[in-house]
Amino acid sequence: MGYLGWDFLILDAEHGSLDPNRAEDLVRALELRGVTPLVRVTTNQPPVLLRFLDAGAQGVHVPWVDTAADAERALQAIKYQPRGMRGLAGVRPATFAQELSFPDYVARSNEETLVVLQLESAVAVDNLEDILAVADIDVLFLGRTDLSHSLGHAGNTAHPDVESVVSRAVERIVASDVALGVVVPNVEEAQLWRERGARYIATTFEAVVGASAKAWLAGASA
């Protein structure tokens, strides 16, 4: 995937078996191709975030951010002082303290590490104004599948109840300095969401490979 021109790839530890050890290998591969490696972590806990960041993730997706307190807890774990309380060590992204001084590494990490917070419930949307008031969030990512589930329409992201809540969130995020993020199943939806103001658009490996495989099989057997 690193050869194919993606701006970033998200390594999924939340809904997959990825651990920091394996993530570090994947990060190395993406760095060689100039692709930004991001990790969707398992949970919003400092030790979890620390291990994936120390493995070299250049940004993280933090699931289930429902309140401003959840958002601030994530920022405290992701950022070094003075913004946060992330533990400092001579880890791989710090060049094992060989090429970068600690002050230079801390400054670069605090400036460049991407913070993507996932809004995945009706509660999160209700608390959106407070979440947006938390400093240093880069992307608020609408997890529409879990959001639909929380509204009683599991997986039906097109249901009017779900779309009403999504539209409310979209309007407020697009009006802010924070980027709107979504995951889409195809190119058509990617274009639609760009028109709605999304600046951070992801898709799934299955969406890309599945469509290609089906087209290939249909053509080869015709």
Q: Check residue 137 and report its DSSP letter.
A: -
User: Is residue 198 within 8 Å of residue 181, measured between CB atoms?
Assistant: yes
The rounded distance, in Å, linking the Cα atoms of 187 and 16 is 24
- CB under 8 Å, gap of 24 or more: what pairs does 191-197 form? 196/170, 197/170, 197/173
Cβ 117 vs Cβ 140: under 8 Å: yes
d(CA 41, CA 162) in angstroms, rounded, equals 25
Q: How many residues does the chain have?
A: 222
The residue from 15, 149, 153, 159 that is catalytic is 15
The DSSP code sequence of 15-70 is SS---HHHHHHHHHHHHHTTPEEEEE-SSS-HHHHHHHHHTT-SEEEE----SHHH
15 is catalytic: yes
The catalytic site residues sit at 15
